[in-house]
Chain A
Amino acid sequence: MDFLWAFLIGGLVCMIGQILIITTKITSARILVTFVLIGVVLQAFELFEPISQFAKAGINVPIIGFGASLAKGAMGAVKSIGLLGAFTGGLEATAGGIAAAVGFAFLFSLIFKSKTK
């Protein structure tokens, strides 16, 4: 059941991205930015958790989940350590993802070359 919801919701989110690409011709950087913002806003209004409850990976794997973690981290840290949390919480919550992306990119840039299409 988790798989089905993950597939349907995840697919739907990605398809919305594709609709944006086709209709507005925006580049992948703008797509990613848009979806991160959607995640931040969903979390800010505390709408992300209810969706995540049943969509699981379907909403967490899309970059929306990254945005939601940023906002969730900031909000959680504000709750525990006050205003400073607004600055420390976001990156703390997403450090794993960012560090992994940077680390593996660096590693593989040493090994691989880009190939002509």
Chain B
Amino acid sequence: MIETLLQSVPFQIMLTGALVGMASSLVGTFLVLRGNSMLSDAIGHSIVLGIVVVWLLTHQQSGPFQIAGAALTGILTVFLTELLVTTRRVKKDAAIGLVFPMLFAIGVLLLNVYARDVHIDTHTVLLGEIGFVWLDTVDVLGWSVPIALLSMGGMTVLNALFIGLLYKELKLATFDPDLAKALGYAPGLMFYALLFLTSGTAVAAFDAVGAILFVAFVIVPPSAAYLITDRLSWMFLYGGLIAIGSSISGYYLASWWDVSIGGMMALMTGTFLLVAFLLSPRYGVIARLIRQRGQHRSNETRTLAVHLYNHEDSARRDEENVTAALREHLLWDRGKARRVLLECLDRDIVRREGDILTLTEKGRGLAREILAPHGG
């Protein structure tokens, strides 16, 4: 039963996709939180150079040493970027945008020159071939397992181990690098280690999804998770779930429409992001709009209460605390003035006698409460 499942091609593809998503969003969570998302774009592009060079040197690509070697170009990108920034002649965003296209261009030229010797063409570089992962297998304990599945599984475990072991240190280094440094945790080194794992993940995921779709798996699930929760540990959980969901739904939609499986999986992460962006109970747009509308309304009644309170004892009371003042002084239009006044009357904050508006005891209490923290 399990064996048939494991040997089924759709399952292998979906599992690979899910592993790409999980491994990527593990490291991506920290990149998103640190405001370094675009480094994944840079790394994704420049590991192409590493992969080509490693292939030309060893004529292999899937061993752990090959992955680590190719991942070095990812680290090189980050190092060169930071070097440019420290010269203070180039801003960080420009530095990123200078370094990775250069390394990527060299990689593409090498592909050009050694086209006959290299196993990948430029087309694969960008799109990946997740649909064909089952072609390339090795025997493990008598089962033939796709190599991509094996290396992605390895990277997922490695990333999870790294984050699990250094959880509190990474958390501290992300939210308060200065404190982490003061406590001797070497946040810089930890960050480089994290980026090395990101690069390794990019290399391992390369055959499946290519250099650019990888970026979607790194950034989008953690971003969606960030819109749902404030807790770091829950971000990993949501990120992982979104990765699995995107992989499964992406696979079936892609088979249905006969389009790129990797592309569809990446696109599905975007669907989850859209849902979180709109519907998240705390940070979603809709929840925010509703809350803002409520707050806006309550601010309006509070504004009126404070206004009346400020002028209660003043000489210009007859000019300020009348219905006409809402339009002439607060500059509210007729509809808004009417709406706010009705609300205040309803809530027993304001009394109206002819044109004169006076605060009720409750209204006065509200105004005092508002102004109290500001020396009221």
Pair from one complex: no
